[in-house]
Amino acid sequence: MKNLFILLFVLLTSLTTLASATPGEVSEGSVLPNAPMQGLTGRSEFLSRYLGKPLIINVWASYCGPCLAEMGSLERLWQRYDDRLNVIGISIDDYPERAEVFLAKAGTTFPHYIDKQLMLESMLGAKTIPLTLLIDAEGRVLRKVRGAQQWDSPEVIETIAQVYKFDL
């Protein structure tokens, strides 16, 4: 009976773990595929354009208050460390006009893309937003951070430096 209970527990735990991942989602430690990104603030690009330098990808939407709240700190982080890392935003809005209004409020200057078909949302695992991914120079997902952060705070900068293994 005890063995049956253990078997059921392991089986249910496995199913729960499988259910929590989005189909096609790239997990931490995996390399991102070279996906196309539709330009929102500039031209369309492929993710591979950002290889060669650490990358921070922020997934957001115009209806997300916490997304707007963290944009200023992402901009300051990018302005301060743009020689060391890239920062891009990916909107999961259906309508570019809504995303453009959001960006006008946010006042960011780093590149943004729009994911109307939600291909990137699924690939990145953005079940909740904001979602920010720390990607190494080879395209490997080092960390996924769910929820808004103060990206230019000393504590977060220290965490970023530890993840990327360099001084900021």
Token pair listed for 94? 């259906």
Q: Residue 163 corresponds to which amino acid? A: V
pTM: 0.85
What's the pLDDT score for residue 26? 94
For residue 140, give its domain range: 2-164
Q: Which DSSP state fits 166?
A: S
- How does pLDDT run across 52-75, given as a tens digit for each residue? 999 999 999 999 999 999 999 999
Q: Taking the alpha carbons of 139, 38, 74, 23 in that order, is the dihedral positive or negative? A: negative
The CATH code of the domain that includes 29 is 3.40.30.10
> What residues contact 133, with CB distance under 8 A and at least 6 apart?
55, 56, 57, 59, 124, 141, 143, 144, 145
pLDDT one-digit tens code per residue, 16-66: 334 455 668 999 999 999 999 999 999 999 999 999 999 999 999 999 999
The whole-angstrom separation of Cα 29 and Cα 136 is 10
**69/63 Cα distance (integer angstroms):** 12
Q: Total structural domains in the chain? A: 1
